[in-house]
Amino acid sequence: MNFKDDFSMLNKDLVYLDNGATTFKPSCVIEAMNDYYENYTANAHRGDYDISLKVDIAYEGVRDKVQQFINARHREEIIFTSGATEALNMIVSGFFEHVLEPGDEVIISEAEHASNVLPWFRLANKKGIVIKYVPLDEHLHVTLDAIRKTVSPRTKVIALAEITNVVGDVRPIKDICAYAHSRDIFVVCDGSQSVPHKVTDVQDNDVDFLAFSAHKMCGPTGVGVLYGRMELLEELEPVNFGGGMNESFDNENAIFLKELPARLEAGTPNIAGVIGLGAAIDYLIKVGLDNIYYHEITLKKYLVEKLATIKHIDIINEECDSGILAFNVDGIFPQDVAIYLSKYNVCVRAGNHCAKILKKSVGVRNTIRISLYFYNTKEEIDCLVELLKDRDKIMKEMI
Amino acid sequence: MDANLKREIMLDNYQNPANRGKPVDENYISVNSNNSSCIDNIDLWVLIKDDVIHDIKFMGEACAISTASTSIMTKELIGKSLDDVKKIIENFYNMIEEREYEKELFSEAIVFDEIYKQANRKTCATLPYKGILDAIKIYENNKKA
C-alpha cells in the first residue's frame, strides 16, 4: 500500500517518529467527519427526522465496529469517552471507588502512564487503598512471576498497560488475567499503546476493563473507548449526569437511568469523533493488524541494529516486542537531541513520557523515544540514524 | 556578537558549568525551578546576606540552554545587591521578550539576545532567573517575619 496517497501529513517532508503521542489521520477519517458536519449534522438519539436517524445509525454503527474490533461479547460493553484518560478515571471513580475497602491493594508498575497512576493515587488518598508496584525485571519488563510475588490476599486489582509508552514491553495480559481471576482479582488494561498496534481480543485475554484512545490509532483527538465486562459496567456509577442518560426524573430528586451504554454517555457525545473512529477502524482493518504489528517489529529491529553500531548511543529497551525504542545520546540532554533532530524535520519525543516514577527503575529520568507506526519506512530510519552518527555535529547544532 | 561565538560560550557553560554543586551550609535558600512545558528541572541554592547575593549553587537535569543560562547567571549575579539583581533580571526578561533593555547590564548573558527566534527555548533561558526571583521572595518574607 502506498500510504502517502492516504495521508497528507506523509507529504510534508517530515520524519514523524512520535506515534506513541499521536498518529496521523488518513483522508478517509477526515472525510467521514467532514461528511457528518457538511451533510447530516444533527444530534444523536434525538429526532424523528431523517438526518437524525442517519446520525444514530452512523454513531451506533461505530459501536458495533468497536465491538468487533476488540471482540467484545456485547455492543453495550462499548462506552465512548473523550479518551483513554477519561475511561480510566471512570473505571477508578465510578467502579473501584465503590468496590474497594481501605487496605485493599492495587498493583500497578512504575512504567505506567500518569493516567493509570494518578486516579489510583487519588483513591489511595481518599479511601486508604494501598498501591503496590510490581518489580520490573532487568529488561524493565513485567513478568507473571513478578506479579505472583507481588500479589497478597489483600490484592483486589491489577492495573497495567498492555504495552508501556516508555519501555514498550508487551505484558502477558492473558496470563495475568487467568492468574488474577483465579484469585478474584480484577484486571484493568490500559490499551492506549497496544490496541492501535496489535490484535486485541477481550474474550480471549479476558480483561475486566480496557481503555484506549482513537487518536493513537489514526482516529481523531477527543474520543476514546471504555470497555468493561457487562456485569461490571452495570455496577459502574456514572460520573456525569445529564441529558441522554436518564429515562425520567421528577421533582422529588428521583432519577431513573437508562440502560447501558447510554447511561454512561451523558450529554451530546463527540459524534464526529466517533464517526472518525469508525473510519479509522475500517482503515486499520484494511491495512491489517497483523501486518501493522509485523511491520513495526521488523522496522524496530532494523533501527536497533543500526543504532547499536553507534558508540555514543545507549539503548534503554533493546529487548521488547513493540515499535517503541528509548535511548540517550551519551552526555547530551535528550531535549537537546530532539531539538537538533527537529532542525532536520525529524520529530521525536524527549522527556519522561508521562511516566514520572520510572526513574527509580531505569536510573535515568529522561530519554528520547521513537515510536513507530505502519507508515514509517526504512528510509526514515536511515535518515534518523545518519543524523545521530556524529556526536560533534549534534553538539554543534543543538543550540 | 557573532553566532558561532555565542554558541561556543553557551556550549562551554553547558559542558563546564560554573557553580555547579550542592552546598552543605544550611543558610542557603533552596528553590526548585522547572518548566511545565518541557523537562528542565533545576535546583538552586542561594546565599543572601544583608541584601546581597553572596553565592549561588545549582544542580539538576536540564537542556543545554537552561544549563548554560544558569551557569552564566550565577557568574553575573554573585556579589550583586538585590536591587541590582532585580534590575538585571527585569532586563534579561525584556531581552528574551524582545522588549527594550539595557545591554550594558550583561556580560556573557548577552549570548541569549536572539533566543526569541526559537520560541520554544525562551523558557529554557529564563528558567534559572525564575528560581532566583522565588529565592528573593523567600528571603524578603523571612526578613519581614
- Which chain B residues have a beta carbon less than 8 Å from that of A362? none
Whether A353 has a pLDDT exceeding 70, the answer reads: no
Whether A364 has a pLDDT exceeding 70, the answer reads: no
A399–B contact, CB cutoff 8 A: yes
Nearest CA in chain A to B67: A333
Contact A351/B62, CB-based, under 8 Å?
no
Amino acid identity of residue A133, one-letter, is Y
B39–A contact, CB cutoff 8 A: yes
Nearest to B141 by CA among B70, A32, B133, B8: B133
Q: Are strands B29-34 and A324-329 parallel, antiparallel or unpaired?
A: unpaired
Q: What is the mean pLDDT of chain A?
A: 94
A244–B contact, CB cutoff 8 A: no
Q: Enter the C-alpha cell of residue B33.
A: 525551578
Beta strands in A59-169 (DSSP E): 78-81, 105-108, 130-133, 155-161
- Which chain B residues have a beta carbon less than 8 Å from that of A366? 39, 61
Q: Which of B16, B63, B65 to mutate to test the interface with A (most CBs of A within 10 A)?
A: B63
The reported pLDDT for the residue numbered A362 is 59
Contact B39/A365, CB-based, under 8 Å?
yes
- Which chain A residues have a beta carbon less than 8 Å from that of B118? 339
Question: Is the complex ipTM more than 0.85?
Answer: no
Q: What is the rounded CA–CA span in Å between residue A130 and residue A126?
A: 11
The reported pLDDT for the residue numbered A295 is 97
> Please, which residues bridge with residue A81 across strands?
A224
Q: What is the rounded CA–CA span in Å between residue B31 and residue B18?
A: 18
User: pTM here?
Assistant: 0.91
Q: How confident is the model over B37-82, as pLDDT tens digits?
A: 677 889 999 999 999 999 999 998 889 999 999 999 999 999 999 9
Q: How confident is the model over A301-352, as pLDDT tens digits?
A: 999 999 999 999 999 888 888 999 999 999 899 999 999 999 999 999 998 7
Measured between its terminal Cα atoms, the distance across chain B in Å is 45
Whether A357 has a pLDDT exceeding 70, the answer reads: no
B121–A contact, CB cutoff 8 A: yes
Q: Taking the CA atoms of chain B, what radius of gyration do you get in angstroms?
A: 14
Nearest CA in chain A to B38: A351
Whether A53 has a pLDDT exceeding 80, the answer reads: yes
Q: How many domains does chain B have?
A: 1
Contact B39/A350, CB-based, under 8 Å?
yes
Contact A335/B63, CB-based, under 8 Å?
yes
A336–B contact, CB cutoff 8 A: yes
Q: How many CB pairs under 8 A join A and B?
A: 36
DSSP state of A326: E
Give the CA distances from residue B117 to residues A63, A255, B113, in Å, rounded to whole numbers and listed in that order. Answer: 47, 57, 9
Nearest to A18 by CA among A277, A345, A333, A359: A345
Nearest CA in chain B to A338: B63
Give the DSSP letter string of A74-97. -GGGEEEESSHHHHHHHIIIIIIH
Q: What angle do CA A151, A154, A159 make, to 5 degrees?
A: 55
Q: Indicate the Cα dihedral angle A156, A161, A166, A168, nearest 10°.
A: 120
The reported pLDDT for the residue numbered B40 is 83
Whether B27 has a pLDDT exceeding 80, the answer reads: yes
CB proximity list for A184: less than 8 A, separation 6 or greater: none
Q: How confident is the model over A120-169, as pLDDT tens digits?
A: 999 999 999 999 999 998 888 999 999 999 999 999 999 999 999 888 99
Q: What is the rounded CA–CA span in Å between residue A249 and residue A34?
A: 36
B10–A contact, CB cutoff 8 A: yes
Residue B35 belongs to what domain range? 3-144
Q: What is the rounded CA–CA span in Å between residue A397 and residue B113?
A: 18
Amino acid identity of residue A246, one-letter, is N
A364 vs chain B: nearest CA distance in angstroms? 10
A3-25+288-397: CATH topology is Aspartate Aminotransferase, domain 1 (3.90.1150)
Architecture of domain A27-286: 3-Layer(aba) Sandwich (3.40)
* Active-site annotation of A, residues: 354
Give the CA distances from residue A164 to residues A258, A307, A353, in Å, rounded to whole numbers and listed in that order. Answer: 36, 21, 10
Whether A237 has a pLDDT exceeding 80, the answer reads: yes
What is the pLDDT confidence band of residue B35, given thresholds at 50, 70 and 90?
confident
Whether A221 has a pLDDT exceeding 70, the answer reads: yes
Contact A366/B121, CB-based, under 8 Å?
no
- Residue B98 belongs to domain with CATH number: 3.90.1010.10
Nearest CA in chain B to A333: B63
Whether A46 has a pLDDT exceeding 80, the answer reads: no
**Residue pair B76/B132 in contact by the 8 Å Cβ criterion:** no
The reported pLDDT for the residue numbered B145 is 82
| A217 φ, ψ (degrees, to nearest 5) | -135, 40
- Which chain A residues have a beta carbon less than 8 Å from that of B7? 396, 399
Contact A351/B40, CB-based, under 8 Å?
no
The reported pLDDT for the residue numbered A358 is 63
Beta strands in A4-141 (DSSP E): 15-16, 78-81, 105-108, 130-133
The reported pLDDT for the residue numbered A33 is 98
Contact A399/B11, CB-based, under 8 Å?
yes
Whether B132 has a pLDDT exceeding 90, the answer reads: yes
* Extents of the domains making up chain A: 3-25+288-397, 27-286
Contact A335/B40, CB-based, under 8 Å?
yes
What is the pLDDT confidence band of residue A354, given thresholds at 50, 70 and 90?
low
What is the pLDDT confidence band of residue A73, given thresholds at 50, 70 and 90?
very high
A336 vs chain B: nearest CA distance in angstroms? 6
DSSP state of A215: G
DSSP state of A236: P
Helices (H), A187-311: 202-205, 230-233, 271-287, 289-308
B2 vs chain A: nearest CA distance in angstroms? 14
A358 vs chain B: nearest CA distance in angstroms? 14
B104 vs chain A: nearest CA distance in angstroms? 24
Whether A45 has a pLDDT exceeding 90, the answer reads: no
Nearest to A397 by CA among B3, B46, B88, B38: B3
Contact A365/B61, CB-based, under 8 Å?
yes
- Which chain A residues have a beta carbon less than 8 Å from that of B40? 335
Whether A244 has a pLDDT exceeding 90, the answer reads: no
